[in-house]
Structure 1
Amino acid sequence: MTPAARLPRPFLGQGLRFPLEIVGGALAVSRGEAKIAESIRFLLSTAKGERTMRPTLGCGIHDLVFAPGNSQTDVFVAEAVRDTLVNNEPRIDVLDIGAERSPQEPNLILIRLVYRIRENNSVTSLVYPYFVTEGTAA
Protein backbone atom coordinates (compact mmCIF):
# COMPACT_ATOMS: atom_id res chain seq x y z
CA MET A 1 0.00 0.00 0.00
CA THR A 2 1.40 3.39 -0.97
CA PRO A 3 1.72 6.17 1.63
CA ALA A 4 -0.93 8.17 -0.23
CA ALA A 5 -3.39 5.28 0.05
CA ARG A 6 -2.97 5.25 3.84
CA LEU A 7 -3.83 8.91 4.25
CA PRO A 8 -7.26 9.50 5.77
CA ARG A 9 -10.00 10.73 3.46
CA PRO A 10 -11.36 13.77 5.30
CA PHE A 11 -14.41 14.12 3.05
CA LEU A 12 -15.67 10.67 4.02
CA GLY A 13 -15.39 11.65 7.66
CA GLN A 14 -14.74 10.01 10.96
CA GLY A 15 -16.52 10.16 14.25
CA LEU A 16 -18.14 8.19 17.02
CA ARG A 17 -19.64 4.91 15.92
CA PHE A 18 -23.43 4.81 15.66
CA PRO A 19 -24.90 3.33 17.71
CA LEU A 20 -22.42 4.20 20.44
CA GLU A 21 -20.13 1.36 21.39
CA ILE A 22 -17.30 0.99 23.89
CA VAL A 23 -14.18 -0.83 22.70
CA GLY A 24 -11.20 -1.24 25.00
CA GLY A 25 -12.60 1.23 27.54
CA ALA A 26 -13.08 4.02 24.98
CA LEU A 27 -15.85 5.08 22.65
CA ALA A 28 -15.47 3.37 19.29
CA VAL A 29 -14.73 5.47 16.22
CA SER A 30 -15.67 4.72 12.64
CA ARG A 31 -14.39 6.33 9.48
CA GLY A 32 -14.71 6.32 5.75
CA GLU A 33 -17.39 4.29 4.00
CA ALA A 34 -18.54 2.70 7.27
CA LYS A 35 -19.22 6.16 8.68
CA ILE A 36 -21.38 7.02 5.65
CA ALA A 37 -23.46 3.85 6.11
CA GLU A 38 -23.89 4.70 9.80
CA SER A 39 -24.94 8.23 8.88
CA ILE A 40 -27.58 6.87 6.49
CA ARG A 41 -28.96 4.56 9.19
CA PHE A 42 -28.98 7.48 11.65
CA LEU A 43 -30.89 9.71 9.23
CA LEU A 44 -33.47 7.02 8.46
CA SER A 45 -34.00 6.16 12.13
CA THR A 46 -34.49 9.80 13.16
CA ALA A 47 -38.00 11.24 12.89
CA LYS A 48 -38.40 14.79 11.58
CA GLY A 49 -38.76 17.17 14.52
CA GLU A 50 -37.00 14.77 16.89
CA ARG A 51 -33.88 16.96 17.08
CA THR A 52 -34.88 20.23 18.72
CA MET A 53 -32.09 22.34 17.23
CA ARG A 54 -32.46 20.77 13.76
CA PRO A 55 -36.19 20.16 13.28
CA THR A 56 -35.87 19.35 9.56
CA LEU A 57 -33.27 16.63 10.15
CA GLY A 58 -34.66 13.14 9.86
CA CYS A 59 -36.87 11.02 7.66
CA GLY A 60 -40.60 11.23 7.02
CA ILE A 61 -41.08 7.45 7.08
CA HIS A 62 -42.03 7.69 10.74
CA ASP A 63 -45.16 9.62 9.75
CA LEU A 64 -46.29 6.51 7.86
CA VAL A 65 -46.13 4.06 10.76
CA PHE A 66 -49.91 3.46 10.71
CA ALA A 67 -50.36 3.80 6.94
CA PRO A 68 -52.15 1.04 5.04
CA GLY A 69 -49.99 -1.83 3.87
CA ASN A 70 -50.19 -1.21 0.14
CA SER A 71 -47.93 -0.26 -2.74
CA GLN A 72 -48.80 3.43 -2.40
CA THR A 73 -47.31 3.45 1.11
CA ASP A 74 -44.19 1.75 -0.25
CA VAL A 75 -43.85 4.55 -2.83
CA PHE A 76 -44.22 7.19 -0.09
CA VAL A 77 -41.51 5.42 1.93
CA ALA A 78 -39.10 5.45 -1.03
CA GLU A 79 -39.81 9.14 -1.70
CA ALA A 80 -39.26 10.06 1.96
CA VAL A 81 -35.94 8.20 2.02
CA ARG A 82 -34.76 9.85 -1.21
CA ASP A 83 -35.74 13.31 0.05
CA THR A 84 -33.92 12.75 3.35
CA LEU A 85 -30.69 11.56 1.76
CA VAL A 86 -30.60 14.19 -0.99
CA ASN A 87 -31.08 16.98 1.56
CA ASN A 88 -28.91 15.68 4.42
CA GLU A 89 -26.11 13.47 3.10
CA PRO A 90 -23.84 15.43 0.73
CA ARG A 91 -21.21 12.68 0.48
CA ILE A 92 -23.40 10.42 -1.68
CA ASP A 93 -25.45 10.36 -4.88
CA VAL A 94 -28.60 8.26 -4.56
CA LEU A 95 -28.80 5.92 -7.56
CA ASP A 96 -31.79 3.76 -6.71
CA ILE A 97 -34.30 3.29 -3.90
CA GLY A 98 -36.88 0.58 -3.60
CA ALA A 99 -39.30 -0.29 -0.83
CA GLU A 100 -41.01 -3.65 -0.70
CA ARG A 101 -42.91 -5.72 1.82
CA SER A 102 -41.26 -8.79 3.24
CA PRO A 103 -43.26 -11.91 2.30
CA GLN A 104 -42.45 -13.47 5.69
CA GLU A 105 -43.42 -10.41 7.77
CA PRO A 106 -46.20 -8.18 6.38
CA ASN A 107 -45.34 -5.37 8.81
CA LEU A 108 -41.75 -5.16 7.55
CA ILE A 109 -40.76 -2.87 4.69
CA LEU A 110 -37.31 -3.55 3.26
CA ILE A 111 -35.83 -0.30 1.98
CA ARG A 112 -33.17 -1.12 -0.62
CA LEU A 113 -30.78 1.73 -1.31
CA VAL A 114 -28.02 1.94 -3.93
CA TYR A 115 -25.73 4.95 -3.70
CA ARG A 116 -22.42 6.23 -5.03
CA ILE A 117 -19.84 7.77 -2.73
CA ARG A 118 -18.76 10.99 -4.42
CA GLU A 119 -15.19 10.92 -3.09
CA ASN A 120 -14.19 7.65 -4.73
CA ASN A 121 -17.10 6.73 -7.07
CA SER A 122 -17.65 3.54 -5.09
CA VAL A 123 -21.16 2.13 -5.56
CA THR A 124 -22.61 0.61 -2.41
CA SER A 125 -25.94 -0.86 -1.40
CA LEU A 126 -27.72 -0.95 1.92
CA VAL A 127 -30.93 -2.61 3.10
CA TYR A 128 -32.76 -0.83 5.91
CA PRO A 129 -35.54 -2.76 7.66
CA TYR A 130 -38.50 -0.61 8.69
CA PHE A 131 -41.31 -2.04 10.79
CA VAL A 132 -44.80 -0.58 10.50
CA THR A 133 -48.11 -1.30 12.16
CA GLU A 134 -50.63 -1.60 9.40
CA GLY A 135 -53.43 0.95 9.70
CA THR A 136 -57.06 0.18 9.15
CA ALA A 137 -58.61 1.35 5.92
CA ALA A 138 -61.18 4.07 6.50
Structure 2
Amino acid sequence: MSDDTREFLGIGWKFPLQVTASGSVAQSRYEQRIEESIYLILSTARGERVMLSDFGCGIHELVFAPNNAATRSRVVQGVRKALTAYERRIDVLDVNADSSSGQDNLLLIRINYRIRINNALGNLVYPFYIQEAA
Protein backbone atom coordinates (compact mmCIF):
# COMPACT_ATOMS: atom_id res chain seq x y z
CA MET A 1 0.00 0.00 0.00
CA SER A 2 1.43 3.37 -0.98
CA ASP A 3 2.10 6.12 1.54
CA ASP A 4 -0.52 8.30 -0.20
CA THR A 5 -3.35 5.95 0.76
CA ARG A 6 -1.92 5.34 4.22
CA GLU A 7 -1.92 9.09 5.01
CA PHE A 8 -5.49 8.60 6.27
CA LEU A 9 -4.10 6.52 9.13
CA GLY A 10 -2.29 9.57 10.44
CA ILE A 11 1.04 10.92 11.54
CA GLY A 12 1.47 12.53 14.94
CA TRP A 13 3.36 12.74 18.17
CA LYS A 14 4.45 9.42 19.58
CA PHE A 15 2.62 8.16 22.66
CA PRO A 16 3.99 8.24 25.26
CA LEU A 17 5.71 11.48 24.34
CA GLN A 18 9.36 11.06 23.35
CA VAL A 19 12.14 13.32 22.12
CA THR A 20 14.55 12.26 19.37
CA ALA A 21 18.33 12.59 19.56
CA SER A 22 18.09 15.77 17.47
CA GLY A 23 15.74 17.35 20.05
CA SER A 24 12.49 17.16 18.09
CA VAL A 25 9.32 15.40 19.20
CA ALA A 26 9.25 11.78 17.99
CA GLN A 27 6.46 10.88 15.60
CA SER A 28 4.55 7.71 14.89
CA ARG A 29 2.98 6.85 11.56
CA TYR A 30 0.10 4.90 10.12
CA GLU A 31 -0.68 1.55 11.81
CA GLN A 32 1.56 2.36 14.78
CA ARG A 33 -0.41 5.59 15.25
CA ILE A 34 -3.66 3.64 15.51
CA GLU A 35 -2.24 1.29 18.13
CA GLU A 36 -0.99 4.23 20.18
CA SER A 37 -4.40 5.88 19.83
CA ILE A 38 -6.06 2.76 21.26
CA TYR A 39 -3.68 2.82 24.24
CA LEU A 40 -4.42 6.52 24.73
CA ILE A 41 -8.18 5.97 24.72
CA LEU A 42 -7.93 3.11 27.21
CA SER A 43 -5.51 5.00 29.44
CA THR A 44 -7.71 8.09 29.70
CA ALA A 45 -10.46 8.17 32.31
CA ARG A 46 -13.69 9.86 31.34
CA GLY A 47 -13.75 13.42 32.64
CA GLU A 48 -9.96 13.65 32.64
CA ARG A 49 -9.90 16.02 29.65
CA VAL A 50 -11.58 19.31 30.41
CA MET A 51 -12.61 20.19 26.85
CA LEU A 52 -13.59 16.59 25.96
CA SER A 53 -15.21 15.38 29.17
CA ASP A 54 -16.72 12.25 27.54
CA PHE A 55 -13.42 11.17 25.95
CA GLY A 56 -11.78 8.07 27.34
CA CYS A 57 -12.79 4.73 28.72
CA GLY A 58 -15.02 3.97 31.70
CA ILE A 59 -12.87 1.10 32.96
CA HIS A 60 -11.12 3.38 35.43
CA GLU A 61 -14.32 3.51 37.46
CA LEU A 62 -13.80 -0.22 38.12
CA VAL A 63 -10.33 0.00 39.61
CA PHE A 64 -11.57 -1.17 43.04
CA ALA A 65 -14.12 -3.67 41.71
CA PRO A 66 -13.83 -7.38 42.52
CA ASN A 67 -12.19 -9.57 39.91
CA ASN A 68 -15.26 -11.51 38.84
CA ALA A 69 -17.26 -12.22 35.68
CA ALA A 70 -19.49 -9.16 36.15
CA THR A 71 -16.50 -6.81 36.36
CA ARG A 72 -14.82 -8.41 33.35
CA SER A 73 -18.07 -8.04 31.40
CA ARG A 74 -18.27 -4.34 32.29
CA VAL A 75 -14.63 -3.88 31.22
CA VAL A 76 -15.31 -5.52 27.85
CA GLN A 77 -18.41 -3.39 27.33
CA GLY A 78 -16.58 -0.16 28.29
CA VAL A 79 -13.62 -0.87 26.03
CA ARG A 80 -15.82 -1.72 23.05
CA LYS A 81 -17.94 1.41 23.57
CA ALA A 82 -14.91 3.72 23.90
CA LEU A 83 -13.10 2.33 20.86
CA THR A 84 -16.24 2.45 18.73
CA ALA A 85 -16.83 6.07 19.69
CA TYR A 86 -13.28 7.46 19.54
CA GLU A 87 -11.26 5.40 17.06
CA ARG A 88 -13.16 5.58 13.80
CA ARG A 89 -10.29 4.22 11.72
CA ILE A 90 -10.94 0.69 13.00
CA ASP A 91 -13.69 -1.89 13.30
CA VAL A 92 -13.58 -3.60 16.69
CA LEU A 93 -13.80 -7.33 16.01
CA ASP A 94 -13.43 -8.79 19.48
CA VAL A 95 -12.72 -7.66 23.02
CA ASN A 96 -12.23 -9.94 26.00
CA ALA A 97 -10.82 -9.59 29.48
CA ASP A 98 -9.14 -12.45 31.30
CA SER A 99 -7.58 -12.73 34.72
CA SER A 100 -3.86 -13.22 34.73
CA SER A 101 -2.75 -16.45 36.38
CA GLY A 102 -0.93 -15.70 39.59
CA GLN A 103 -1.99 -12.04 39.68
CA ASP A 104 -5.56 -11.67 40.90
CA ASN A 105 -5.50 -7.90 40.47
CA LEU A 106 -4.49 -7.96 36.77
CA LEU A 107 -6.93 -8.14 33.86
CA LEU A 108 -5.52 -8.66 30.40
CA ILE A 109 -7.77 -6.91 27.90
CA ARG A 110 -7.34 -8.45 24.45
CA ILE A 111 -8.53 -6.40 21.50
CA ASN A 112 -8.78 -7.61 17.91
CA TYR A 113 -9.52 -4.99 15.29
CA ARG A 114 -9.48 -4.34 11.56
CA ILE A 115 -8.16 -1.13 10.01
CA ARG A 116 -10.92 0.11 7.73
CA ILE A 117 -8.83 1.64 4.96
CA ASN A 118 -6.77 -1.47 4.17
CA ASN A 119 -8.50 -4.34 6.02
CA ALA A 120 -5.29 -5.07 7.92
CA LEU A 121 -5.90 -6.98 11.14
CA GLY A 122 -4.39 -5.82 14.39
CA ASN A 123 -4.46 -6.94 17.99
CA LEU A 124 -3.09 -5.80 21.28
CA VAL A 125 -3.19 -6.68 24.94
CA TYR A 126 -3.80 -3.90 27.44
CA PRO A 127 -2.98 -4.64 31.11
CA PHE A 128 -5.51 -3.22 33.56
CA TYR A 129 -5.03 -3.42 37.33
CA ILE A 130 -8.03 -3.73 39.62
CA GLN A 131 -8.26 -3.86 43.41
CA GLU A 132 -5.12 -1.79 43.84
CA ALA A 133 -5.92 -1.16 47.49
CA ALA A 134 -5.77 -4.86 48.37
TM-score computed with the length of structure 2 as normaliser: 0.94
Alignment of 1:7 with 2:20, yes or no, is no
Q: State percent identity of aligned pairs.
A: 50
Tell me the equivalent position of 1:116: 114
Structure 1 residue 7 displacement after superposition: 3.4
Deviating above 4 A after TM superposition, structure 1's stretches of 4 or more consecutive aligned residues are: none
Residue type matched to 2:42 in 1?
A: L
**Other structure's SS at 1:22 match:** coil
| Correspondence list, 1:24-39, <5 A | 24=21, 25-39=23-37
Superposition deviation, residue 133 in structure 1: 1.1
> In 2, distance between residues paired with 1:98 and 1:82?
9
Count residues in correspondence: 133
Aligned-pair Cα RMSD in Å: 1.6
Q: Could you tell me how far apart the structure 2 residues matched to 1:76 and 1:135 are?
A: 20
TM-score for the superposition, normalised by structure 1:
0.91
SS of alignment partner, residue 35 of structure 1: helix
1:96 to 87, 90, 94: 94
Greater C-alpha Rg? 1
Q: What residue ranges of structure 2 are gaps of 5+ in the alignment? A: none
Query: 1:106 maps to what in 2?
Result: 104
| 1:23 matches 2:10 | no
Provide the rounded CA distance (Å) in 2 between the counterparts of 1:122 and 1:50.
31
Question: 1:122 and 1:5 mapped to 2: Cα distance?
Answer: 14
Unmatched runs of 5 consecutive residues or more in structure 1: none
Q: What SS class does the counterpart of residue 106 from structure 1 fall into?
A: strand
Q: Deviations over 1:69-93 (max 9, x none)?
A: 1011001000000000001100000
The separation in 2 between residues aligned to 1:93 and 1:13, in whole angstroms, is 16
Summarize deviations over 1:73-117 as a string: whole Å, max 9, x none: 001000000000001100000000000110121100000000000
Aligned partners of 2:34, 2:132: CA distance in 1, in Å?
31
Alpha-carbon offset, residue 135 of structure 1: 7.7
